[in-house]
Structure 1
Amino acid sequence: MCNISIKCQKCRSELASNDSSTIVDCHNKPIQDTLRITYSCNENVMENNWYLASTALPDWINTSIDEGNWQKGKLICPNCTLRVGSFDFISGIKCQCKQFVLPQIHLVKSKVDIYFR
C-alpha cells in the first residue's frame, strides 16, 4: 500500500493521510496503488474527487460533520479556510457504473495536492 498525504493547495497543511484516514476510490475500496488514484470506475473518465472512508477521519473532518448533524455540509481547511470538499449523508449519489453509491465524504482534487511518501 502506498503512503499518501493530502494537503491544502493554498496553505499546504495536511488534511488527510493513510495514517489518519482511509482514502478510497469511488467504489469505497481502499486505494492500493497509484493506478486506482487517477481514474473512476470508468477508465476513460477522470475522477474530480478524493474520497475518504467515514470510519477513521481526522478530527477536523469529524468536527465539521458533527456541526452539520451528519447530513450535508462543506469541508473547510482548518488552517486557511479554503473550501476543500464536502460531505453528504443524505443524497446517496451513484458512481458512473451505477452499481455503487459514492462515499459520502470527498475532497476536491483541484483544491488539494497529493503527495506520496
Structure 2
Amino acid sequence: MSNISIKCQKCRYELASSETSTILDCHEKPIKDTSRVTYSCNKNVMENNWYLSSTALPDWINNYVEEGDWQKGKLICPNCNLRVGSFDFVSGMKCQCKQFLLPQIHLVKSKVDIYFR
C-alpha cells in the first residue's frame, strides 16, 4: 500500500494525505492502491472528485466544516486561497451508479494534484 498525498495545484500545499486522513472512492471505500483511483463504481465513469472521510479530517478542513455548522460550504486552500473543494452534509447526492450516497467532503481533481509515495 502506498501513501497518498493530495496537494493544492496552485501552491503545492499538502491538503490531505492517507497518513492523516481516509481518502475514499465514491462508495466510501478507502483507496488503498492506484488501481481504484481512476474510475469509480462498476460503470467505469471517470470521477471528478477525491472524497475524504468525515471521521478523520485535516485541521484546516475540520475548521471549515465546523464554521459551516456541518451543513454546506466551500473548502479554500489555507495557503493560497484557491477553492479546492466543498462539503455537503445536507443534500445526500447519489453516486452515478445510483446505489450509494456520495461522501460529504470532496476535493476537486482539477484543483489538486495527487502523489503516491
Q: Normalising TM by the smaller chain, what interval? A: over 0.9
* CA apart distance, 1:13: 0.6
Q: Identity of counterpart residues, as a percentage?
A: 82
* CA apart distance, 1:103: 0.1
Alignment of 1:1-117 (within 5 A): 1-117=1-117
What is the distance in 2 between the residues matched to 1:28 and 1:113?
20
* CA apart distance, 1:78: 0.2
What is the distance in 2 between the residues matched to 1:27 and 1:49?
12
Displaced runs of 4+ in structure 1, greater than 3 A?
A: none
What is the distance in 2 between the residues matched to 1:44 and 1:32?
18
- Structure 2 residues not aligned, in runs of 5+: none
TM-score under structure 2 normalisation?
0.97
- Structure 1 residues not aligned, in runs of 5+: none
TM-score under structure 1 normalisation?
0.97
Aligned length: 117
RMSD between aligned residues: 0.8
SS of 1:65's equivalent in the other structure is helix
What is the distance in 2 between the residues matched to 1:16 and 1:3?
11
* CA apart distance, 1:99: 1.2
